[in-house]
Amino acid sequence: MNLRDTPDEAAFRGELRAWLQDNLPEELRAHRGGAGRFEELGRAWSRKLYDAGYVGLTWPREYGGAGAPYSHQAIFLEELARSEAPQHIGVIGLGMAGPTIIAHGTDEQKSAHLQRILSAEEIWCQGFSEPEAGSDLASLKTRAELDGDAFVVNGQKVWSSFAHIADFCLLLTRTDADPAKHRGLTYLLVDMRSAGVEVRPLRQITGEGEFNEIFFTDVRVPRANVLGEVGSGWGVAMTTLLHERGTLGFALTAALEVAVRKLIALAKERRVDEGLRERVAREWIELQALRYTNYRALTKLMQTGVPGPEGSIAKLHWSESNQRLTKLALEILDTEAQLLDGGGHGEGYWQFQQLRSRGNTIEAGTSEILRNIVAERVLGLPRSR
């Protein structure tokens, strides 16, 4: 057991920190995302990260990655968050599309996409959820019917981040109306510029738009764009979801760390009473619990190559911590909690964070589904359905 950086890790951290200091444009620092000019800046920023060799750290070298240990990825996410730099704009491509293509893709698919995902030339989105298929993903209805050398896709997807700027979509479709619903699904890589694709942004309770609906009307997708086998889409989709929750814990800890640091600054500035001080301390303790649970998971991942159950635990714990923490910040703002320019930490920072946090227990697996996963796969309790 040694919780300190190894000399190699420290050197990586030191170089990265200096690089961020020199290269992060001031207008991107602490930017909370959204549309418009940010996309342009975000692409340029992602390209800069790529050129400096910080993208795809754990990807194999043959696919353009750095082949570095997972600890470097953890350090990268920590330092990126600490400098309040935005993430690479292609998070879906890096975290989900890339690993799934590496696992299931043909050589043609790998050479067509992997390098372009790393360099942010290709932005990806995910087409899994539907209006009638949320947590019960396997009940999805978007149809893909073979017509010659292409599948013809009809249906609707929802909650799709980045779809409004995406070049490609990870699309899960039904190719067989087999009543055994996990069978008969096929995973397609869809060019978002195909005829018949329409994206409509959804406005969130924060007032901003991160998610979209995607409508597919007679969209022709070449047969060569099937990922895995026709009818084996469920297994391929599980690879995607495993990666979604795989190293997610580190990004979440890093984001929570920034929030706790700001919460402490707010509590100091407002000279809060003993009761609130104790609650601030609690959030710091919960952050460290999350951090060290991730470190345990990281050690296991580096020793065995297989992610443990900590990913689901981290997501559950982080989402609830972030909700509690942001509400605590508003309570510290007290009677001024409604004022969008009274927080002293940027306009409406805490108000935005608090509202945004309500999505945390829904996105990337609702807390209810995650508890089912832990109950069944980690604790071995009998299946509930």
Partner 1 sequence: MDFAFTDEQELLRSQARSFLAERRSLEAVAEREGSFEPGSWQELAELGWTGVSVSEEEGGAGLGFLEEAVIFEELGRVLYPGPYFSTIALALPALAGHAALLQRVAAGELTATLAHAEAAGPRRLADTGGLATEARQDGAAWTLAGEKVLVPDLGSAGTVVVTARSGGGVGLWSVEGGAREPVETMDSTRPYGVLRLDGAPASLLVEPGSGEEALAQIRTRALAALALEAVGVGEAANALAIEHASSREQFGRAIGVYQAVSHSVVDGYVGVELARSLAYWAAWCVAEGDEQAAVAAAAAKAHAAEAAVAACERSIQVHGGIGFTWEHVLHRLYKRAQWIQAFEGFAPVLRREVASALLDVSEEESTELVQQETPVQQEVA
* Residues acting as catalytic residues: 244
Q: Quick check: 214 and 198 in contact, CB under 8 A?
A: yes
Token digits of residue 360:
């945390």
- Residue choice 52, 146, 238, 285 for contact with partner 1 (CB under 8 A): 285
* 185 forms part of the interface with partner 1 (CB under 8 A): no
Neighbours of 164 (CB within 10 A): 19
340 binds partner 1 (CB under 8 A): no
Span 54-83, contacts to partner 1 by CB under 8 A: 71, 74, 78, 82
298 sits near partner 1 (criterion: CB under 8 A): yes
- Give me the residues paired with residue 211 across strands: 202
SS3 assignment for 224-275: HHEECCCCEHHHHHHHHHHHHHHCHHHHHHHHHHHHHHHHHHHHHHCCCCHH
Q: Reduce the DSSP state of residue 213 to 3 states and report it.
A: strand
Interface with partner 1 (CB under 8 A), residue from 10, 35, 238, 340 = 10
Rounded least distance, CB 314 to partner 1, Å: 9
Number of Cβ within a 10 Å radius of residue 273: 9
Least distance CB 343 / partner 1 (angstroms) = 18
Q: CA neighbours within 13 Å on the CB side: how many for 381?
A: 9
- Indicate the SS3 state at residue 139: helix
Residues 364-383 touching partner 1, rule: CB under 8 A, are: 368, 371-372, 374-375, 378-383
| Tokens (6 digits) for 358 | 């309500």
| Joined tokens for residue 338 | 């409604």
Kindly state the smallest distance separating residue 239's Cβ from partner 1, in Å.
Answer: 24
Which residue, 36 or 382, has its beta carbon nearer to partner 1? 382
**Shortest distance in whole angstroms from residue 174 CB to partner 1:** 28
Our finding on whether 290 is near partner 1 (CB under 8 A) is yes
The minimum distance between CB 362 and partner 1, in angstroms, equals 16
User: Could you give the CA distance from residue 291 to residue 261 in angstroms, rounded to a whole number?
Assistant: 14
Q: Does 17 participate in binding partner 1 (rule CB under 8 A)? A: no
Query: If you search the block for the tokens 């479709």, which residue do you land on?
Result: 173
* Number of amino acids touching partner 1 (CB under 8 A): 58
Which position among 31, 48, 110, 300 is part of the footprint of partner 1 (CB under 8 A)?
Answer: 300
Give residues in contact with partner 1 (CB under 8 A): 1-7, 9-10, 71, 74, 78, 82, 257, 260-261, 264-265, 267-268, 274, 277-278, 280-282, 284-293, 295-296, 298-300, 303, 310, 313, 316-317, 368, 371-372, 374-375, 378-384
